[in-house]
A = this chain, B = another copy of it.
Amino acid sequence: MTSENIFSTIDKDLLTLNHNLESMVGARHPVLHAASEHLFTAGGKRIRPAIVILIAKAMLGKENGKVFYSHERLAEITEIIHTASLVHDDIIDECTTRRGVPTVHNMFSTKIAVLAGDFLFAQSSWYLANLDNLAVVKTISKVITDFAEGEVRQGLISFDTRIMVNEYIEKSFYKTASLIAASCKGSAILSEVSAREQDKCYLYGKHLGLAFQIVDDILDIIGNPDELGKPSGSDLINGNLTAPILFALTESPELQNLIDNEFEGESDVGQAINLISKTQGINKAKDLAAEHIQAAINIFSSSKDIEYEDYYNLVKVSLYVLDRIN
């Protein structure tokens, strides 16, 4: 299942999104514009805005059919927040490539990257305020706090092999799932559905986001750097102990040794990946991702208020997340 296939129902929405993203960051400042465009045009799966639109369609149901202007704007805001966080994350994690192109702080400078990230966060706050919906503003504001929380937690526990899978899940919530969950809820709020439906959308986004992060973490180990758009094993190098690594650690004392010594050479990372592949680490992480996808799908399975086609699309996008590793 390809992403083109999944997103075919919302093709037009995503085209508009790509066009709007560029005009939203503005063309007044050549350097900032170049830095932002650099990331926006490098692609990215646009899975976050896609989910916002799919939730909007599902919540609005047959009568409305067409999503609102505010839904489209929320989808754009979500992608801008995500991109802003990537620009700052890349400084913090010292990544050199992202989405297959050099990172902003690598291609331009750390200064420009700090500025470009601030600029994108600022633009998103401003567009958010102008959605004129206080409940949505509150829901999304919380996410940016969660990002910082996630990054700090990641920093605090790097190379700490005593951490548990539940700490990893908590960190992944702050880092990834919080934005997807909040933007699903925001999309539901804009569709004016009940608080109960809003909470369901939040949970759907939360489970999808967690699965998404676990899959990303598996790909960091088994993925092809060309397809990933970044070098593999970067989590290992940064001491970011993800699900497959934590599961592998329970079976491999050699891996434990390597990580305790914080990887002295590049060959150590290759060796660590090799050790992980000999354990059940990857499989157990796949199971964990599948559990969260199942939990996401289950949320709407008994919902009578949702059209079959809309439900089917939400299932499809969920399975696509998992498909990236199969």
Contact = CB atoms under 8 A, between A and B. Distances in A.
A278 interface: no
Given A129-B137, A137-B137, A118 B31 contact: no
Contacts of A132: 134
A127 B128 CA distance: 15
Contact of A110 (B31, B110, B156): B110
A106 to B, nearest CB: 14
A152 B122 contact: no
Nearest to A138: B129
A156 B31 contact: yes
A74 to B, nearest CB: 15
B155 A126 contact: no
Contacts of A118: 88, 117, 121, 144, 147-148, 151
A165 interface: no
Nearest to A115: B151
Given A121-B121, A125-B125, A128-B141, A115 B155 contact: yes
A311 interface: no
In which size bucket is the chain A interface? 35 or more
A114 interface: yes
Contacts of A62: none
A224 interface: no
Nearest to A116: B148
A45 interface: no
Contact of A141 (B117, B125, B138): B125
Contacts of A147: 118, 122
A85 to B, nearest CB: 8
Contacts of A155: 31, 111, 115
Contacts of A275: none
A89 to B, nearest CB: 9
A222 to B, nearest CB: 28
Q: Give the one of A31, A117, A130, A145 with max B CB within 10 A.
A: A145
A152 B36 CA distance: 14
A189 to B, nearest CB: 13
A141 B115 contact: no
A142 interface: yes
B115 A156 contact: no
Nearest to A127: B141
Contacts of A68: none
Contact of A126 (B91, B121, B122, B145): B145
Given A118-B144, A121-B121, 15 more contacts: A31-B152, A31-B156, A32-B152, A88-B115, A91-B111, A111-B155, A114-B114, A115-B151, A119-B145, A119-B149, A122-B141, A122-B145, A123-B145, A130-B138, A134-B137
